[in-house]
Amino acid sequence: MALALYRKYRPKTFGEFLGQETNVAILKNAAKAGKIGHAYLFYGSRGTGKTTTARLIAKLLNCETRRTDPKFAAQGEPCNKCPSCVGIDTNSSLDVIEIDAASNRGIDEIRNLKENIRTSPAVSSYKVYIIDEVHMLTGAAFNALLKTLEEPPAHAVFVLATTEYDKLPATITSRTQRFLFKKLPKVKIAERISAIAKAEHIEISDEAVELVAAAAEGSVRDGISILDQIASGGKKVDLRTAEELTGRVGLQKVHELAERIMQNDLKGALAHISSLHEEGHNLVQLTKDLIHYLRKIASLAANPAVESAFHLELTKDEIARLTALARTADLQKTVRLLKSLIRGYGEMRYSPFAMIPLEIALIENLSEGG
């Protein structure tokens, strides 16, 4: 089986990394100064670079070029060529131990870790323990981990990663340097998807890229995986293909619906929904997208300056179209409609008639007082 695209395109340097600017700056500076810490905790949304950064740290700590060439070390990046870097990239390093706490709640692993941690690294300077999904550890495993975190040997570095910070005991978190990994903006994910598509000779339209990036919902990995899946057919990927696979409609269609709504064109809006329904689009997702879209219109109508907050999420053209709609919007009416749509959304998720709550929300709000 071919290597999954998201693995193939795992950043090997901070330079290739998307977003997480503060984290990157701090860690890179630590690497430049040779002051990498002994326990890190990376937490935050899935597919945003936690494991990738953990491996970067492991490489930085043990990179042989960094050890022998101070000028190179001052760049704060791994060389990716020495046996140590290559060993980590190919998962064959004996001194980087990845533990998946989710698999069996880490009982044996932490026990082994306590044994293993006493022996010095096989070939490198440091032993790096990457504990993924660390919130899944059992109480006993947490206690064992805590003991090692309290008095780690000088050659040990811990990188804990989790999507669920709140499930970690404070005794653990307080012994680590903590870094939040945020969801990535759609525009950045779209850029990465385009670049990978180009490198892989995948023909994909800009609209399809935009849709895939939106469906990624902030996770770079999800974005790349969706691209992988869509492209596996080997055909050119157009908007329609992307819509079918992601179960979403392109922003253009959401915009057209919003336009009719803003014009108080009930007939037009209902016809639009009904044709999307006939084409097999998921109306629950459409409603969610519409709510987000109208919410932006309401914010812009209330304060045009919020535009700047949308730059990472929307392209210039999209913002221009939104702003134009917001100029015509009646704020109170839009808010009323939003309330109905949110209620409708809650109902349609459990209803066998997904379309009706959406239609009712529009009928209630567009027919009256036009």
Ligand X SMILES: Nc1ncnc2c1ncn2[C@@H]1O[C@H](COP(=O)(O)OP(=O)(O)OP(=O)(O)O)[C@@H](O)[C@H]1O
Residues that bind ligand X (CB under 6 A): 6-7, 9-11, 17-20, 46-52, 132, 161, 163, 181, 220-221, 224
Q: Helix, strand, or coil here: 315?
A: coil
Nearest to 63, CA basis, from 39, 87, 42, 40: 87
Interacting residues with Zn ion between 39 and 68 (CB under 5 A):
63, 65
- Residue 190 engages Zn ion in binding (rule: CB under 5 A): no
Q: How far apart are CA 160 and CA 242, in angstroms?
A: 35
Query: Least distance from C-beta 41 to ligand X, angstroms?
Result: 13
The first and second tokens of residue 245, run together, are 């696979």
Question: Between 50 and 253, whose beta carbon lies closer to Mg ion?
Answer: 50
Instruction: Give the x-and-dash track for 49-88 against Mg ion (CB under 5 A).
Output: -xx-------------------------------------
Query: Least distance from C-beta 159 to Zn ion, angstroms?
Result: 18
Nearest to 263, CA basis, from 214, 297, 212, 213: 297
Residue type at 301 in one-letter notation: A
Query: Least distance from C-beta 253 to ligand X, angstroms?
Result: 28
**Radius of gyration for the chain, computed over Cα atoms and rounded to the nearest angstrom:** 25
Q: How far apart are CA 46 and CA 322, in angstroms?
A: 29
Question: Between 61 and 237, whose beta carbon lies closer to Zn ion?
Answer: 61
Question: Between 91 and 151, whose beta carbon lies closer to ligand X?
Answer: 91
Query: Least distance from C-beta 102 to Mg ion, angstroms?
Result: 10
Query: Least distance from C-beta 65 to Zn ion, angstroms?
Result: 5
Residues in contact with Mg ion, counted by CB under 5 A, come to a total of: 2
List of residues 6+ apart from 271 with CB closer than 8 A: none
- Residue 82 engages Zn ion in binding (rule: CB under 5 A): yes
| Residue tagged 């300056």 (tokens) | 305
- Residue 79 engages Zn ion in binding (rule: CB under 5 A): yes
List of residues 6+ apart from 37 with CB closer than 8 A: 30, 157, 177
Query: Least distance from C-beta 225 to ligand X, angstroms?
Result: 8
User: Do 249 and 281 meet the contact criterion of CB atoms below 8 Å apart?
Assistant: yes
Handedness of CA 93, 95, 101, 105 (dihedral sign): positive
User: Do 155 and 120 meet the contact criterion of CB atoms below 8 Å apart?
Assistant: yes
* Residue 6 burial (C-beta neighbours within 10 Å; 0-12, 13-18, 19+): buried
Question: Between 40 and 293, whose beta carbon lies closer to Mg ion?
Answer: 40
DSSP 8-state code for residue 135 = G
Residue type at 294 in one-letter notation: L
Instruction: Give the x-and-dash track for 12-51 against Mg ion (CB under 5 A).
Output: --------------------------------------xx
Q: What are phi and psi of 44, to 5 degrees?
A: 135, -170
Q: Which of Zn ion, ligand X, Mg ion, none binds 79 (CB below 5-8 Å, type-dependent)?
A: Zn ion
Question: Between 50 and 66, whose beta carbon lies closer to Mg ion?
Answer: 50
Question: Between 82 and 193, whose beta carbon lies closer to Zn ion?
Answer: 82
Question: Between 31 and 220, whose beta carbon lies closer to ligand X?
Answer: 220
DSSP 8-state code for residue 353 = -
Question: Between 51 and 315, whose beta carbon lies closer to Mg ion?
Answer: 51
- Residue 294 engages Zn ion in binding (rule: CB under 5 A): no
**Residues at the contact surface with Mg ion, assessed by CB under 5 A:** 50-51
**Residues at the contact surface with Zn ion, assessed by CB under 5 A:** 63, 65, 78-79, 82, 85
